[in-house]
Structure formats: structure tokens, C-alpha cells
């Protein structure tokens, strides 16, 4: 648990903002305008369930409307509270600015333990919550576009989209009112994996620069790097899976709510997930060392630590014991302000949340654009691209035959060269490009300015600068 001496999550985000803004020269009052949360709507509503009326509390917070719509997920957890939702909304503002998705920042939350309700009950609750937000334009394709977060997924987004469509029968852009929908309800390929995929691309961007890796005392690429992941939910699972299957990283530890498993030889991420699905716990997973005190594995020796669950898991109480030289914040706010200070002073490198987990909102942006354009990406170009490539392959083969050169193109080359880019290829390419560009923007400051010593401050300076520029050009 976070020691009582720590600031709240919201204050922690503001303190991080303050560190960065102190290095900037914004016009009078602009700093305060950007920092504050514009509004938070609290709703308490009743739903008749199991023979009685249950009352639920939910929030939708809008941190900054410098661009609209505002964007950010809806979280379902018993611990949801106003402070948390406002902190997460602020992070959305900075995240969107950093990866250049044209949105302001927002976040929503419902105090509920989704595991205690049946799907049909969750549908009733979600539709009622959505109704309350829709009628106040807190869900609207042009003004406020939610997405999944902890405890919610495609299913909830489909209910929200349908609820909006029922209440706005003539809105041709209704589907764009929420992102993270299933494919058959207007979703986009690659959205579920997007945040984990973004973590992978972020790490690739980092290791592409040997001098950056050297700041963490690391060398080489991701191959053979020992990784500990905290949280095998959607984000942690995809990050760990892609890093181990595609980059040769070794997942030596996985931390879950009821314990952790550890193996120097590496864990098979899919098998661990299947085990958890079948048994409801990570305990008992065969062929690995089990620790009942899962959080203690955060302090174990490894090359890369990936907190991918909740905020505040690395705090004043355990920061000094963290051994990983590189920490990438796949969750929002996993390192408190105080812990960040301790880690920085002990030479750890932190790839900050507003960059590391921006893959989700980046692909949400693609989904929103897809919904507004009413056409799947690649639909017009794919076969034309394939036909053009086929022309080149035919010509090469003709030349070879005419000149008696005996060239044969390898089947692997032909297959991949001839295949036109489909939606998933385009989404991944757009995400990779986004993560690379944002990394460059951060590292230019990290290495280029004497007063910027870490990636978090660099990320905030880039973001705040962009938000400020939007306000100034609006004449505020």
C-alpha cells in the first residue's frame, strides 16, 4: 500500500507537471489554466437488480478542452474515486498531446466490482450510466469519446455505442461516440492489442539508441533481456507476449493480485494466462517458483520492469528496493511522485506512462477516424497496391527469363511483397510511426537541454508546450 505520507494520485500528477512547467516560460496564468481540471460530473443512479434498487456512483471528468472531442477511458473498479478520475483525465490531456492525437483529456469511472455482477446485469448498469452521460453530452462523437480502461472492454463499449445510437437515431456519426468497440460494431483491428503493442514499440524505440540504453546501464537490443511484468491484464499480457515472441525478451516474472510466478528460464505468457483463466489464480502454475507476496517480485533482479496494473504500486515504501535499471510505465501512474524522485536519484531510467501506454488512445484515434469516414482502412487501396507489386514481380521474372539469368524470387519475398496492406498492417504501422515520433520529441529534449534530466520531464515539456500553443492560437 502507498504510505500515508504520499500525495494523492491527482497531486502526484500535478507535482510532475510542476517539475516540467518550472522549466518553461508560459504566459501569465496559462500554467494554471492547463493544470486545473475543467470539470467533473458525478452521477448517482439506481438500477433495479436482484429484487432491489442498487445505487451506483460514477464520474466523468474533463481535464482540458483545448481540443475537442475530449478522450479517455471508463474504468470499472470498486476503488474508483474523484481524485483518481481527475488524475487520469489530466494524464489523458498530456498523453494525447505527446502522441499528437487531436483530443483534449477526459476520464470516467464507475465504483463497481464487475466480477460480482452477471453480464446481463452489467449491461443494465452500463446502459444506465451511459444514458446519464449521453444526455449531458459527456458521451458524444464531437465532444467526448470514451474508451475501455481497467474493468471494461469491447463488450461495454458496444453497449455504450448502442445506447448512444438509440438516443440519437439520426446521428450518422453515432459509432464515433466511443472507441474500443468490437469489430462488428464499428471497431478497428488491432485496438485490443494496441496498448501492449505500444509498450513494445516504445521499448524498441528506446533500444534503437545505444546511448539511451546506456543511461540505464544496458546494452544491445531486447533480445535476452529479463523482464518482470506486473499485471497480466490486457496491457501486460500483450506487452509480455509480443516482447517474448517477437523480440526475444525473457519474461522471468509475472505478478498478479494473488501472488507471482518466477522462472529464470522464462515463462510462457500464453500458458500462464490460460492457467489463470482455467483456475482463477496464478497460484499453482507448474514449472515456476511461486511467491505468495507477489509485490515483492517488483524488487527482484531483472533488466526491465513493466508495471501494467494500477497506479501507486511503486511508492515511498518500496522505491529504494527496486533493482530494475529500466522501468516502463505500462499502467497510468504506477510510480508515485516521491518514488520517481528516489528512482531517478539512484540512476534508474523510467519510460513514463504518458508515452509508454499511449498506444491505446493512438489506435482509438484511428478507430474514431474510421467511424467518421465510414470506411475500413485499406479498402480502396489494398488490391491496387497488390496489382502494382504484381506488375514489378512479373517484369523481374520476364527479364530473368528473356536474358536467361535464371533468377528466382524466394517464395517468402513474393508472398510478403505481393500482399497489400490491410487494416491491421496499417494500424500497426501508424502506431509504430506515432511511438517513434513521440520518442524522438522526448529524446531531443532529454539530450538537448541541460536542465532536462529524465524522460518524464521531457514528455511533460513537449506536451505542455503543445497544449499551450493550442490555447495561444485560440486567443485565450
Q: How far is the CB of 94 from ligand GLU (least distance, A)?
A: 11
Q: Which of 343, 461, 394 lies closest to 97, judged by CA? A: 461
> 319: which residues sit within 8 A by CB, 6+ positions away?
335, 336, 338, 339, 340, 342, 343
For residues 224 and 264, give the distance between their C-alpha atoms in angstroms, rounded to a whole number.
Answer: 11
Angle in degrees, 0-180, between the axes of helices 269-279 and 234-247, rounded to the nearest 10: 150
361 belongs to the binding site for ligand GLU (CB under 6 A): yes
Q: For residues 64 and 179, which CB has a smaller minimum distance to ligand GLU in the complex?
A: 179
Which of 147, 160, 176, 254 touches ligand GLU (CB under 6 A)? 147
Chain centre distance of CA 226: 22
Q: How far is the CB of 357 from ligand GLU (least distance, A)?
A: 6
Give the side-chain half-sphere CA count within 13 A for 309. Answer: 17
Q: Which of 198, 250, 199, 205 lies closest to 227, judged by CA? A: 250
Which of 332, 371, 434, 463 touches ligand GLU (CB under 6 A)? 332
152 belongs to the binding site for ligand GLU (CB under 6 A): no
Q: Footprint of ligand GLU on residues 422-461 (CB under 6 A)? A: none
**In the chain, what's the furthest Cα-to-Cα distance?**
84
Hey, what's the cell of 169?
437515431
Total residues at the site for ligand GLU (CB under 6 A)? 11
179 belongs to the binding site for ligand GLU (CB under 6 A): yes
Q: For residues 105 and 253, which CB has a smaller minimum distance to ligand GLU in the complex?
A: 105
Q: For residues 146 and 325, which CB has a smaller minimum distance to ligand GLU in the complex?
A: 146
Q: How far is the CB of 426 from ligand GLU (least distance, A)?
A: 18
Q: How far is the CB of 343 from ligand GLU (least distance, A)?
A: 22
CA–CA distances in Å: residue 411 to residues 271, 390, 391, 417: 33, 13, 16, 10
Q: For residues 147 and 305, which CB has a smaller minimum distance to ligand GLU in the complex?
A: 147
Q: Which of 8, 16, 5 lies closest to 461, judged by CA? A: 16
- Set 33, 52, 71, 107: catalytic member: 107
Evaluate whether 243 touches 203 at the Cβ level (below 8 Å): yes
Q: For residues 77 and 249, which CB has a smaller minimum distance to ligand GLU in the complex?
A: 77
Q: For residues 93 and 252, which CB has a smaller minimum distance to ligand GLU in the complex?
A: 93
> 412: which residues sit within 8 A by CB, 6+ positions away?
none
108 belongs to the binding site for ligand GLU (CB under 6 A): no
x/- contact string, 83-102, with ligand GLU (CB under 6 A)? --------------------
233 belongs to the binding site for ligand GLU (CB under 6 A): no
Hey, what's the cell of 251?
519474461
**Residue 348 appears among annotated catalytic residues:** no
Q: How far is the CB of 301 from ligand GLU (least distance, A)?
A: 30
Q: For residues 252 and 364, which CB has a smaller minimum distance to ligand GLU in the complex?
A: 364
Hey, what's the cell of 83?
481524485
Q: How far is the CB of 154 from ligand GLU (least distance, A)?
A: 12
Q: For residues 147 and 302, which CB has a smaller minimum distance to ligand GLU in the complex?
A: 147
Q: Which of 426, 428, 432 lies closest to 381, judged by CA? A: 426
Q: Footprint of ligand GLU on residues 39-78 (CB under 6 A)? A: 71-73
Q: Which of 427, 447, 28 lies closest to 197, judged by CA? A: 427
149 belongs to the binding site for ligand GLU (CB under 6 A): yes
Q: How far is the CB of 332 from ligand GLU (least distance, A)?
A: 5
Position closest to ligand GLU via CB = 73
Q: Footprint of ligand GLU on residues 340-359 (CB under 6 A)? A: 357
List own/partner pairs for 377-386 with CB under 8 A and 24 or more apart.
377/188, 377/423, 377/426, 377/427, 378/420, 378/421, 378/422, 378/423, 378/425, 378/426, 381/420, 381/421, 382/420, 382/421, 382/422, 383/420, 384/420, 385/420, 385/421, 386/418, 386/419, 386/420
360 belongs to the binding site for ligand GLU (CB under 6 A): yes
Interface ranges with ligand GLU (CB under 6 A): 71-73, 147, 149, 179, 332, 357, 360-361, 364
- Which residues are part of the catalytic machinery? 107
Amino acid at each position: 500500500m502507498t504510505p500515508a505520507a504520499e500525495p494523492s494520485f491527482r497531486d502526484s500528477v500535478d507535482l510532475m507537471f510542476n517539475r516540467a512547467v518550472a522549466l518553461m516560460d508560459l504566459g501569465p496564468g496559462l500554467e494554471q489554466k492547463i493544470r486545473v481540471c475543467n470539470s467533473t460530473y458525478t452521477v448517482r443512479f439506481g438500477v433495479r437488480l436482484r429484487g432491489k434498487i442498487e445505487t451506483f456512483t460514477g464520474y466523468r471528468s474533463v481535464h482540458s478542452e483545448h481540443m475537442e472531442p475530449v478522450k479517455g477511458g471508463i474504468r470499472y473498479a470498486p476503488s474508483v474515486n474523484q481524485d483518481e478520475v481527475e488524475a487520469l483525465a489530466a494524464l489523458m490531456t498530456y498523453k494525447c498531446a505527446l502522441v499528437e492525437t487531436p483530443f483534449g483529456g477526459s476520464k470516467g469511472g464507475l465504483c463497481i466490482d464487475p466480477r460480482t455482477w452477471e453480464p446481463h446485469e452489467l449491461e443494465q448498469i452500463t446502459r444506465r450510466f451511459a444514458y446519464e452521460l449521453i444526455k449531458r453530452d459527456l458521451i458524444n462523437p464531437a465532444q467526448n469519446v470514451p474508451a475501455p480502461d481497467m474493468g471494461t472492454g469491447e463488450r461495454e463499449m458496444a453497449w455504450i455505442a448502442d445506447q448512444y445510437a438509440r438516443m440519437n437515431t439520426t446521428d450518422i456519426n453515432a459509432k464515433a461516440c466511443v472507441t474500443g468497440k468490437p469489430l462488428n460494431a464499428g471497431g478497428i483491428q488491432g485496438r485490443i492489442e494496441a496498448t501492449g503493442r505500444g509498450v513494445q514499440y516504445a521499448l524498441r524505440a528506446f533500444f534503437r539508441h545505444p546511448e539511451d540504453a546506456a543511461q540505464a546501464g544496458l546494452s544491445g537490443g531486447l533480445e535476452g533481456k529479463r523482464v518482470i511484468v506486473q499485471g497480466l491484464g490486457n496491457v501486460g499480457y500483450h506487452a509480455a507476449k509480443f516482447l517474448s515472441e517477437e523480440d526475444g525478451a525473457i519474461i522471468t516474472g509475472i505478478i498478479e493480485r494473488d501472488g507471482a510466478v518466477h522462472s529464470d528460464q522464462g515463462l510462457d505468457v500464453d500458458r500462464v494466462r490460460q492457467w489463470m483463466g482455467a483456475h482463477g489464480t496464478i497460484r499453482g502454475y507448474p514449472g515456476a517458483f511461486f511467491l505468495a507476496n507477489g509485490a515483492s517480485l517488483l524488487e527482484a533482479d531483472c533488466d526491465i520492469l513493466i508495471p501494467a496494473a494500477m497506479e501507486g504500486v511503486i511508492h515511498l515504501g518500496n522505491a529504494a528496493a527496486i533493482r530494475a535499471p529500466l522501468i516502463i510505465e505500462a499502467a497510468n501512474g504506477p510510480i508515485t511522485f516521491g518514488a520517481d524522485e528516489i528512482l531517478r536519484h539512484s540512476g534508474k531510467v523510467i519510460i513514463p506512462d504518458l508515452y509508454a501506454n499511449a498506444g491505446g488512445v493512438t489506435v482509438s484515434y484511428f478507430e474514431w477516424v474510421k467511424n467518421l469516414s465510414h470506411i475500413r482502412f485499406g479498402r480502396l487501396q489494398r488490391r491496387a497496391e497488390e496489382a502494382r507489386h504484381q506488375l514489378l514481380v512479373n517484369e523481374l521474372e520476364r527479364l530473368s527469363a528473356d536474358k536467361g539469368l535464371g533468377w528466382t524470387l524466394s517464395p517468402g519475398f513474393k508472398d510478403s511483397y505481393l500482399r497489400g496492406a490491410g487494416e491491421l498492417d496499417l494500424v500497426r504501422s501508424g502506431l509504430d510511426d506515432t511511438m517513434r515520433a513521440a520518442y524522438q520529441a522526448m529524446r531531443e529534449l532529454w539530450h538537448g537541454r541541460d536542465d532536462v534530466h529524465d524522460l518524464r520531464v521531457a514528455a511533460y515539456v513537449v506536451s505542455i508546450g503543445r497544449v499551450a500553443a493550442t490555447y495561444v492560437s485560440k486567443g485565450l
